[in-house]
Amino acid sequence: MINTQLSETNYIYNEDMKFKCKKCYSGKSWVSNGVLMLSYNSMFLILFIAFLSCKNKDTIRADDNTVEYEYLRETDEMINHLTINSNVSDIVNHPAFKGFGEMLLPRDNNSGYYNTQLRNVGSLMPYHSHVEPDIVVGAINHMIDQVNDGKTIFYDFYSKEEKEKDPGKKNTGLFFFRGNPDAPFAIVCPGGGFSYVGSLHEGFPLALKISKKGYNAFIIRYRIGSGEWATEDLAAAISYIHRNAENLGVNTKNYSLWGGSAGARMVGDIALSGVSAYGGGNLPKPATVVIAYTGQSGYSNNFSPAFITVAANDGIVNVNVVERRVENLRNAGVEVEYHRYQSAGHGFGLGTGTDAEGWLDLAVQFWQRHMEE
């Protein structure tokens, strides 16, 4: 037998659970007598019971003297963050994305990629290049953090009735990366040849960077299979944001549209013909459009001011078509800023690690110059 008085603070650490359990002593002693005579066996039994209790309860109360087990867990964001070693299925099944996890991914059915590690996420988007897994995962983890902070990150722009009438609209929605309250908004339209939506590379990372500059950024998940459907979805999304601007905390004045490849075609359609031409409201055209690597050629004298970019070695888009459009727009009196890079290829996203890196900063500056007071 030994005479032992327990100290006021003891720690139990369990590697498997990855948290510390802090035992906060209150009162004058462990029990009312102040000193407890314990055998080694009894001591072990008490510690073992305390350990089991610590795993299952946040607080243990013993009569009037309270022994609280305060979990010093890793934060939710660290517990819930993904890594490049996570699988695609971990996105779909993540609790932060409950009900819409599949729509972060390129296709309507991505089950064939569920066992793919995110370090190989580029394999999901064959029309894109320079896909950086760390950047993709960083944008996803930002969304997880937003959900952990109690923010809504996904919005349906079609009503339940509209989806029931046209089931094809089920796999649509808007992801929201918040900037400053009441700041203008951008909608990013990822590409994918209308056979997939490359939000992981060409949507979320761009929106994150735009939001860090203080602007609100949405990424549209549109219907796959038709450029007409996709542009109709974009018109519906623009109208939804205008109707709900106050609740969303965004300013509808000076909004911009951003698109890459197929997504840039959607943007060009709205810049050319307007929102109402595709079933949306009678709304103004965007203050700026950002059009990346598309061979679309339409133009007019009331086309929105345009920032256009492409790479000379683009294997999908004919650069001559892009430059002819730039010339036609300028001749029509439309302000255009054009950047031709040499080796970034097609679908370069942020262009990280290429000669196109930094193009987004230039595009934001162009947008800012065309904001009206």
* pLDDT given at position 79: 59
Res. 303: pLDDT tops 70: yes
Identity (one letter) of the amino acid at 128?
Answer: H
* pLDDT given at position 34: 39
Res. 286: pLDDT tops 90: yes
Q: To which H or E segment does residue 266 belong?
A: helix 262-273
Domain boundary among 21, 56, 73: 73
Q: Looking at residue 104, what DSSP letter applies?
A: G
* pLDDT given at position 66: 30
Res. 56: pLDDT tops 50: no
* pLDDT given at position 373: 78
* pLDDT given at position 48: 47
Are 212 and 134 contained in the same domain?
yes
Reference 325, options 291, 305, 295, 297; nearest CA is 297
CB 230 within 8 A of CB 264: no
Q: What is the pLDDT of residues 20-30, one digit of tens each?
A: 333 333 333 33
Q: How far apart are CA 224 and CA 226, in angstroms?
A: 6
CB 335 within 8 A of CB 368: no
Are 248 and 124 contained in the same domain?
yes
Q: How far apart are CA 298 and CA 270, in angstroms?
A: 11
Model confidence band, residue 97 (pLDDT cutoffs 50, 70, 90):
very high
Q: How far apart are CA 34 and CA 55, in angstroms?
A: 27
On average, the pLDDT of the chain sits at 85
Domain boundary among 13, 42, 73: 73
Using alpha carbons, list the distances in angstroms from residue 11 to 49, 124, 293: 14, 46, 58
- For 56, how many CA atoms within 13 A lie in the half-sphere containing its CB? 6
Reference 141, options 116, 174, 118, 110; nearest CA is 118
Are 57 and 84 contained in the same domain?
no
Q: How far apart are CA 289 and CA 204, in angstroms?
A: 18
List the end-to-end C-alpha distance of the chain, in Å, as a whole number: 82
CB 201 within 8 A of CB 349: yes
Average pLDDT value for residue range 340-358: 98
Q: Which residues contact 10 (CB under 8 A, 6 or more apart)?
A: 23, 25
Q: Which residues contact 160 (CB under 8 A, 6 or more apart)?
A: none
Give the residue with greater pLDDT, 73 vs 315.
315
Are 134 and 29 contained in the same domain?
no
Are 57 and 81 contained in the same domain?
no
Looking at the chain, the whole-number percentage of residues with pLDDT higher than 90 is 78
Are 69 and 81 contained in the same domain?
no
Res. 275: pLDDT tops 80: yes
Average pLDDT value for residue range 115-144: 98
Res. 73: pLDDT tops 70: no
CB 190 within 8 A of CB 219: yes
Average pLDDT value for residue range 238-244: 98
Are 92 and 66 contained in the same domain?
no
Q: What is the pLDDT of residues 4-20, one digit of tens each?
A: 333 333 333 333 333 33
Are 206 and 301 contained in the same domain?
yes
Are 25 and 122 contained in the same domain?
no
Q: Provide the residue range defining the domain that includes 341.
A: 77-369
Pull the structure tokens for residue 248: 């969303």
Domain boundary among 38, 73, 108: 73
Model confidence band, residue 74 (pLDDT cutoffs 50, 70, 90):
very low
Q: What is the pLDDT of residues 24-50, one digit of tens each?
A: 333 333 333 333 333 444 444 444 444
Res. 189: pLDDT tops 80: yes
Are 69 and 101 contained in the same domain?
no
Secondary structure of residue 316 in the 3-state scheme: coil
* pLDDT given at position 326: 98
Radius of gyration of the chain (CA): 27
Domain count, the chain: 2
Q: Which residues contact 149 (CB under 8 A, 6 or more apart)?
A: none
Secondary structure of residue 336 in the 3-state scheme: strand
Length of the chain: 373
Scored b (16 or more CB within 10 A) or e, 31-44 reads eeeeeeebeeeeee
User: Which neighbouring-strand residues pair with 175?
Assistant: 154, 219
Reference 202, options 268, 87, 125; nearest CA is 125
